[in-house]
Structure 1
């Protein structure tokens, strides 16, 4: 209804959202168009601060790949309260990390592969840290050993961090040509996955699992979904994991959800305590 749009526009006054075109979006959402790609963080933060006022979670989206993502003249019916409640309950009872598993978890590493995995993608050579490992060994065990030993070598850790910290900064984030702000008709983090367009969650059951991931990450790391570009998700993180078990566990979950993130788990674990932006990439 137009009254809803008027209330949102009123809430926008005095913020970077003031004056931007606004209208009804798909499935009960509201779309704000003409978002400046150079002001993504500023616009999202302003909308995030208004969640207690307007009762809608914000997520940045793009119509670069979806012509149907346009303002509608009339509101489009979204899920009923009971449907959304059932979605959230199913999400809460799901086990997302049984489904989201990185393919490398089952790999075995032989002697002739050690150098490849010990270099990761950064080019920093860690082969000197693995001379006493019994081979073949599962890749996760090798990577955890590399990470633990790396934490005790300040010089090598500094070299790796210098090459990987970009992935936890917004410099690494994708910026589409056309950006819209989608206001979801819920303030609940878990339920918000109902509307998230992500290649890693194409079915309703997958979106429910993603909803549980969003809820877990919000609770543990104050990770807030900023943008969904179809094959990419971008998060702002309020609590960084500490080096060691926390960073290792978070890195494993990030890699599981983002199989196309081209870093080894030990590299991601080094990066996470050094930045506040998480990037998820899952594409065909």
Structure 2
């Protein structure tokens, strides 16, 4: 666990005492998320780090863009015309029904795709997850489609509760 970035020095010791072995990284991530979410001191310390997820601050900003008008007013139908590496050409275990995911996210979270860069997706979100369990489950879905995100999963889950933008990235 030496390379793991816990939000607080005491977390590693607490994890050793509280987690039941055997565990994998997803168990440690979930435990860290729940522990950080419940600890107001840790949340205050992370507040500045979490701001970089807000308002598209972590979005890719290209020098040149192409504007595409799709022949549908239904946001999730964009999957019929766009290609995203993480849903179609990516790792076999990450292949998902792209349109179904976009529809679910639109209906549940008000997520609308606003940019697709082949290996990156950017969304605006009308209804961020309200509970910790919703945020954690959504984060697991995002991780399935976005294997190239660099931040710890527990931090992304914390950010999902407070931001109206999402960034996904999956590259070869």
TM-score by length of 1: 0.54
* Helix, strand or coil at the partner of 1:151: helix
Please name the residue that 2:62 is paired with.
176
Higher strand share: 1
> How many corresponding residue pairs?
166
Please name the residue that 1:116 is paired with.
3
Please name the residue that 1:129 is paired with.
14
Deviation at 1:166, TM superposition (A): 1.1
Please name the residue that 1:152 is paired with.
38
Please name the residue that 1:218 is paired with.
106
Call closer, same or farther: CA 1:252–1:202 in 2, change over 3 Å: closer
1:186-222 CA-partner distances (Å, limit 9, x unpaired): 223443211112112346xx99711011000000100
TM-score by length of 2: 0.85
**Larger radius of gyration between Structure 1 and Structure 2:** 1
Please name the residue that 2:142 is paired with.
254
What is the rounded CA distance, in whole Å, between the counterparts of 2:51 and 2:131 in structure 1?
Answer: 14
> Structure 1: which 5+ residue stretches go unaligned?
1-112
1:108-130 CA-partner distances (Å, limit 9, x unpaired): xxxxx2x433x15xx65432431
Q: Which one is further off, 211-220 or 144-153? A: 144-153
**What is the root-mean-square deviation of aligned Cα atoms in Å?**
2.2
Call closer, same or farther: CA 1:129–1:274 in 2, change over 3 Å: farther
1:159-198 superposed matches below 5 A: 159-198=45-84
What is the rounded CA distance, in whole Å, between the counterparts of 1:269 and 1:128 in structure 2?
Answer: 22
Conserved 8 A contact 1:168-1:272: no
| 1:272 lines up with 2:160 in the alignment | yes
* Helix, strand or coil at the partner of 1:274: coil
Conserved 8 A contact 2:86-2:147: no
> Structure 2: which 5+ residue stretches go unaligned?
none
